[in-house]
A = this chain, B = another copy of it.
Amino acid sequence: MKARLVTVSALTALMATGAISQDLSTTLPDAVGQVAPALQTYASEDLFGEVWQGENLSVRDRALVTFAAMMTRHETGELSEHVALALDAGVTPAEISETITHLAFYSGWGNATAAGVAAAPVFEERGVSADDLPAADPELLPLNEEAEARRQETVQGMYGNVSQGVVDNTEELLFRDLWLRPALEPRDRSLVTVAALIAAGQPEQMTFHLNRAMDNGLTQDEAGAMLSHLAFYTGWPRVFSALPVAADVFESRAE
């Protein structure tokens, strides 16, 4: 704690206002403390009091990956509270909206449907209107045609004769459309994708997306802090299965 106290940052300042800290407590219903007082203490002292204040990842990013993880795990009970928390931490309504749309493709339509149902009353309460949300058909970000051609050629060669539908939709809907939508920064799009893969227990799909996240600006310190943060929300074993993949990615990029 000492080192942290002398480097008071904007983040800890934000936490110090008490606003986020109070929001965090709304994600843990009173019933939990009545049944498991120890868990309530771990939550307030360790998870809320230490982990969320770690300086290697912003509170805003922590709120975004937590929402992505809980949405992916279909943990709908406190999902509205996590939407409100993300908004208070600086995630915009447009970014919540776009995260839901993005993860429809990366963690399934049913998860996105439930997330929409959870977010709707929060948006309404806060007066979020249609104008605040990403258009269905915006002007897309420019595409790196060369990289996409390589990706497409690889996937076509591997799976074209297994399911041409998957190959075509991956190109047309994901890499030539969804990933180019401007309402969520490519770095954030990668961030929620990696969080979803960890939460879903799919480390075998993480190499491509963690590399892409770091190409898109995620630092190694942020990736490490995300793993540490998500251990609480996905359970330790999910993160321990992701660690060797992250180790390989970090090593390969250091060469």
| Cα–Cα distance between A37 and B41 once the two chains are bound (Å) | 40
A226 nearest in chain B by CB position:
B163
Taking CB atoms, residues of chain B closer than 8 Å to A75 are 74, 108, 110-111, 113-114
Bound-state CA distance A237–B201 (Å) is: 10
Contact with B along A111-149 (1 / 0, CB 8 A): 111111101100110000010011111000000000000
- Copies per complex of this chain: 3
Chain A positions 231-255 with a Cβ under 8 Å from a chain B Cβ: 231-241, 243-244, 246-247, 250
Q: Is the CB of B40 within 8 A of A108?
A: no
Using Cβ atoms and an 8 Å threshold, which residues of chain B touch A123? 34-35
Contact status B100-A39, CB under 8 Å = yes
Is A205 located at the chain interface by the 8 A CB criterion? yes
Interface of A is mostly: helix
Chain B contacts for A101, CB-based, 8 A: 36, 38-39, 42
**Number of A interface residues, CB 8 Å?**
101
Chain B neighbourhood of A246, CB < 8 A: 162-163
A136→B33 CA distance, assembly (Å)? 10
What is the CB-to-nearest-CB distance from A66 to chain B, in angstroms, rounded to a whole number? Answer: 9
Residue in contact with A77 in the complex, picked from B78, B108, B110, B170, CB distance below 8 Å: B110
Decide: B136 and A41 in contact? CB cutoff 8 A: yes
* Chain B nearest CB, measured from A213 CB (Å): 14
Candidates B51, B111, B225, B235; contact of A105 at CB < 8 Å: B235
Q: How far is the CA of A23 from the CA of B230 in the complex (A)?
A: 36
Q: In the complex, A241 Cα to B200 Cα: how many Å?
A: 12
Residues of B within 8 A of A227 (CB): 162-163, 165-166
The answer to whether A90 has its CB under 8 Å from any CB of chain B is: no
- Chain B residue contacts of A15, Cβ below 8 A: none
The answer on a CB contact under 8 Å between A241 and B105 is no
- Are A113 and B74 closer than 8 Å at their CB atoms? no
Are B166 and A205 in contact, CB atoms less than 8 angstroms apart? no
The reply to whether the CB of A156 lies closer than 8 angstroms to some CB of chain B is no
Q: How far apart are the CA atoms of A54 and B105 in the complex, in Å?
A: 18
Kindly list the 6 A-B residue pairs having the minimum CB-CB distance in the complex, ordered from nearest. A165-B228, A32-B116, A75-B110, A31-B120, A41-B136, A163-B224
